[in-house]
Structure 1
């Protein structure tokens, strides 16, 4: 459950992001580096504000757990990846040929045999 304080923090974070977007637009005559700096700065400030809320801490915890889970994944080797990609391409080619033959067979059956068209 999110407390009122946490909702206010998240609302403030959203307002800071909106302020960064408005600042980017208002500073259209300024150099692009400054405009991007204002926007990125607003994102960083909003992230800091959100981090001090309970949902922000939960999100950060989830991100850390996800990162550690990805590190534990057993990724395939390059050789295995190339082999599996080749198998998929071969399967797609065979299925494409099969479906084309099936389509032509049905076409021949309908138009050639049943309707008598040539």
Structure 2
């Protein structure tokens, strides 16, 4: 079954707006390199105007408006998260480091044991 939350661009106006947005961004990049002999701020302004105009046109389309709504909902959900205190974060970090140390020692002992069994006991190497 298809995912119902996937949205496709169906209307020609939305397609044209998205194409125009991409073309404006590309025009900003082309302008940046085309104005190679100009001062850095002129080139930067051409790039910034093209990118900003392209993003604005893209956000005015139906998928762009959906993205804005998604971003707002995501921000609301992040504000609901209960973040750990400094003490909880420190304790959790120490537990993780302790577990990593114990696993490192265990794997080292396992490796040396297997090495001893293969090379000393089975093959008779010293």
Is this a same-fold pair by TM over 0.5?
yes
**In 2, distance between residues paired with 1:42 and 1:99?**
55
Q: Which residue of 1 aligns with 2:92?
A: 84
**In 2, distance between residues paired with 1:36 and 1:94?**
53
Moved more, 84-93 or 27-36: 27-36
**In 2, distance between residues paired with 1:85 and 1:29?**
53
Q: Deviation per CA, 1:58-91, whole angstroms, max 9, x where unpaired?
A: 0111111111111111111111111111111111
Q: If the length of structure 2 is used for normalisation, what is the TM-score?
A: 0.88
How many residues get paired?
Answer: 118
Deviation at 1:8, TM superposition (A): 0.3
Q: Is 2:62 the counterpart of 1:73?
A: no
2:29 to 21, 29, 32: 21
Could you list the structure 1 runs, at least 4 aligned residues long, displaced by more than 3 angstroms after superposition: none
| Partner-residue secondary structure (3-state), 2:38 | coil
Q: Is 2:44 the counterpart of 1:46?
A: no
2:104 to 76, 96, 114: 96
Structure 1 alignment gaps of length 5 or more? none
1:34 to 16, 33, 42: 42
Structure 2 alignment gaps of length 5 or more? 1-7
Q: If the length of structure 1 is used for normalisation, what is the TM-score?
A: 0.94
CA RMSD of aligned residues (A): 1.1
